[in-house]
A and B are shown apart, each in its own frame.
Chain A
Amino acid sequence: MAARNVAMREAIRRALREEMQRDEDVFVMGEEVAHWQGTHRVTRGFLEEFGERRVRDTPISEMAIGGAAVGAAMAGLRPVAEFMTINFAFLALDAIANHAAKVRYFFDGMFKVPLVYRAASGWGNQATASHSHAPEPIFAHFPGIYVGCPSNSLDAYGMLKTSIRDDNPVLFTESIALYPKPSPMPDDLDEDYLIPIGKGDIKREGADVTLVAYARGVDWALQAARLLARDGVEAEVVDLRWLRPLDMELVYKSFKKTNRCVIVEESLPMYSFGGEIAANLQERMFDYMDAPIKRVAAEDVPLPYSKDIELLALPDARKVVEAVKEIL
C-alpha cells in the first residue's frame, strides 16, 4: 500500500477541513483560529476558505468558549471549539465537566451535545510550569464526555473525524510535540475513515512485556521497545488512543500473553492514567500477574524553566527501559 509521511498537524487540519466541507453545521471557534491562521497552524487557510461565519475568532474567554460550544451544540450545530492550549482549558473546566458532560444526563436525554473541544497538550521546550501540562486524565474523570488523544497522524485523522461526527461531546487533545512529527498516511485514504470511539490499537507486538500508553507516551514506549529488542526483550505496545471510554479489554488481552506491564504517560503520577490502568489490571488480571505493575510518568513536581532540570522531571524511553528491566 502506498503511503506517505504526513505531520500530525497536517492530518488534523485535513480531517477538520474535510468535515467542514462535508457538513455545513460544523464550524470552528477559538482564540486566533481565523485571522492569525491558528496558533498551531491547524486552521491555516480556513478563514479564506470558509469565511468568518464558520471560522470564528473569540476573545480570550475560555469560560465563554467552553459554554457557548455547549449551547450551540444543543441547538443543533456541531462546534469544534479550540483551546489554544489545554492549560487554558482549566478555566473552562466548569463548562466542560458540569455542562458539556452533564446536560444530556440531567435533562434525561432531552438534548444532544455534539461538540468537540480541541486542545494542544503537553510540555513544550521550557514552556514553564503553568504551560506544561498533559492533564487529559482530569477531563477523562467525568462521565458524559469522551476523551481522545492520538499518537500519530493516521489515528489523529480518523479519531477527529469520529469525534466530529459522533453526537456526544469529545475532548480531543493534540500533543504539541507530535504536531510536526511525520508518520505514514495511505495515499488512497477515504474521507469516511473513522476510528471507533474507545477502540485502542496494538502498535507493536511482543510477548515479554506490555507497555500501555497514549499520545506521546506511545512514542517513548516504541523507542523503549526498540532498545529492549537489542537485549532480546520483545515489548508489546498498546496505544489506548481514548482515555474515555478506556479499551481495557485490549490491555487484558495483551497482559494475558505477557504477564507484565509498564504504563507510560506524559502526565503526573498521582490519581493518574497509570493508577487507573494498574487498578483495573490487579482487579481483573491478578492470576496472570508475574511481577509488580510499573508506572512511568512525570515527576511529581511543577515543571521548571531551566532545561536540564526540566528534562530530569519528564518521562522518556530510557526510564521506560529501566522500569521494564526491574520487572523482567
Chain B
Amino acid sequence: MASPSKEMLLDWYRQMALIREFEETCHRLYEEKRITGVYLHLYSGHEASGVGSMAALRKSDHVITAYRDHGIALILGMDPKAVMAEMMGKKTGSSGGKGGSMHLASKDHNFWGGYAIVGGHLPLAAGIALEARYRGKDDVTMTYVGDGATNNGYFHESLNMSAIWDLPVVWIIENNGYGMGTEVERASGQIELHRKAEAYGIKSFGRVDAQNALEVYAVALKAVAYAREKGPAVIEHVTYRYRGHGVSDKQYDARDDMSAELKEWVEKREPIKILRDCIKSKYGDVGDILARHEADAERIVAESVAFAEASEMPSTYEDLMRNTYVASELVYKTERSVGAGID
C-alpha cells in the first residue's frame, strides 16, 4: 500500500477544514435566512469519505454524486465563491443560480454534478464510464451513492449494467446509517450494503471506516486500480452525517437517542481530529501549518459569502428561459416532398 506523503496529509487537512467551515457557514446562513432554498444537505462528518477516496484519482478521472455535493465540489477544486453564490441562487453561481445546492457541477473539473433524485445519477455514471470504454480510455468514474439509494431500482439496474459491460466505475456507497429518517436496518434486507453489488458479480472492496481518511485512501487506491484495469468495483464507506438529512431535519433535536448517537460520533470518530492526530503522531508538531489551514478556511469562506451576497440575482425573463435547449447549428437544405404519393 502506498502511504500518503506528508504534503498529501496536510493538503487533506486543508480540504477537510475548508469543507467543515463551508458547511457550518451554510448552516448558519440558512438559519439566518441568507440561504433560502428548501434543500441543503451538508457534508459535515463525511469529509474523510470524499477527501480520502478522491485522492486516489487522477485528473482525467470523473466524479458524480447525489445531492450531498458541496464537499465533493470543493475537494475537486471548484471555486468556493461560485459554490456559495449557487447556494444563494446568484448569477455568479457555478450553475448560474439555476441549480442550487443539489446541482453543483464543473466540466473543467470533470465533475458531472450533484443530482437530486435518489439514485437518478447512477445510470448517468454508467453512461459516462461507457464513453471511456467506447473510446478506449482508461479513465475511472467515481460515483458516490447514499445508503438509501441502494434500495432503489436505479442502483440495481446501473450496477448490473456496469458489470455486464465491464464499465470502469468505482461505486462508493456512503453509508451514514440513515436514508432520510429511516435506519439502514429498517430499510434494507442486506445491511452490508456492498454485498448487494457482489450479487451482480462486482468486485467488492468491503467496508471501510470512512471517518479515517487514510483507511479510505488505502482502499480507494486498490479499487480505482481495479476499475481502471478490469471493471466496476464497490466500496462501502461507513460514515455519519452531523447535520441530519438536510437542514430541515429536526429529529436530532427531538430525539435523545439520536442526539446521543451524534455526540458519540463527534467525540470518538471525528474525521478531522483523526487526521490531525495521525499527522501529529507521524510528523510531530505541525500545529502552525494546521492552524494556518484553519485560518485560511475561515478567510476563504468569509470571502465566498461576501462575494455571493454582493452578486446579482438572475431576474429577467431571458435569465429564466436561457439554456433550456442548445441552439441548433444544423443547416437545413430546402425540404423536398413526394407530395400526393403519400395520400
Residues of chain A whose beta carbon lies under 8 Å from any beta carbon of chain B: 1, 3, 27, 53, 56, 58-59, 61-77, 79, 94-95, 98-99, 103-112, 143-144, 146, 152, 154, 158, 162, 165-168, 183-186, 189-190, 192-197, 199, 201, 203-204, 222, 225-226
Is B153 part of the binding interface, using a Cβ–Cβ cutoff of 8 Å? Answer: yes
Interface membership of B316, Cβ < 8 A: no
Question: On chain B, which size bracket covers the interface?
Answer: 35 or more
In the bound complex, CA of A266 to CA of B129 (Å) = 39
Of the A-B pairs whose beta carbons lie under 8 Å apart in the complex, a sample of 23, sorted by A's number, is A59-B161, A59-B164, A63-B158, A64-B154, A67-B121, A68-B127, A71-B125, A71-B127, A71-B130, A72-B127, A72-B134, A74-B112, A74-B128, A75-B128, A99-B120, A105-B324, A109-B96, A152-B342, A162-B330, A183-B338, A184-B341, A184-B342, A195-B335
Chain A residues whose CB sits within 8 angstroms of the CB of B160 once the complex forms: 59, 61, 64
Q: CA–CA, A204 to B343, complex, Å?
A: 8
Q: Is the CB of B330 within 8 A of A63?
A: no
For window 45-102 of chain B, which residues contact chain A by CB distance below 8 Å? 62, 64, 95-99
A75 close to B127 (CB less than 8 A): yes
Interface residues in B144-167 (C-beta closer than 8 Å to A): 153-154, 157-158, 160-161, 164-165
User: Which of B123, B333, B342 interacts with A192 by CB under 8 Å?
Assistant: B333
A254 to B62, CA, bound (A): 52
* Chain B residues within an 8 Å CB radius of A94: 117, 120
How many angstroms from the CA of A246 to the CA of B161 in the assembled complex?
A: 36
- CB pair B112 A63 closer than 8 Å: no
Closest B-chain residue to A190, C-beta based?
A: B333
Is the beta-carbon distance between A69 and B324 smaller than 8 angstroms? no
Q: Tell me if B325 counts as interface (CB < 8 A to partner A).
A: yes
Complex Cα gap A165–B56 (Å)? 37
Q: Which residues of B contact A186 (CB under 8 A)?
A: 336, 338
| Closest partner residue, chain A, to B104 (CB atom) | A107
Q: How far is the CA of A303 from the CA of B96 in the complex (A)?
A: 46
User: Counting CB contacts under 8 A, is B283 at the interface?
Assistant: no
CA distance A108 to B325 in the complex (A): 10
A99 contacts B124, C-beta separation under 8 Å = yes
Chain A residue contacts of B112, Cβ below 8 A:
71, 74-75, 111
Question: A64 with B329: in contact, given A59-B164, A71-B127 (CB under 8 Å)?
Answer: no
> Which of B95, B97, B157 has the most C-beta atoms of chain A within 10 angstroms of its own C-beta?
B157
Flag if A77 contacts B130 (CB, 8 Å).
Answer: yes
Cβ A108 vs Cβ B158 within 8 A: no
- Contact present for A167 and B328 (CB under 8 Å): yes
Report Cα–Cα, A318/B126, bound state, in Å. Answer: 49
Which of A68, A184, A185, A197 has most chain B Cβ within 10 Å? Answer: A68
A74 to B62, CA, bound (A): 12
Give Cα A184–Cα B338 distance, bound, in whole angstroms.
7
B208 → chain A, closest Cβ, in Å? 26
Q: Could you tell me the distance between the alpha carbons of A159 and B62 in the complex, rounded to whole angstroms? A: 34
A72 contacts which of B96, B98, B105, B130 (Cβ < 8 Å)?
B130
Contact partner of B154 (CB less than 8 A), chosen from A53, A67, A225, is A67
Query: Of A27, A95, A104, A110, which contacts B107 at CB under 8 A?
Result: A110
Contact B128 A72 (CB under 8 A): yes
Q: Provided the pairs A167-B329, A193-B333, A203-B343 are in contact, do residues A67 and B122 lie with their beta carbons within 8 angstroms?
A: yes
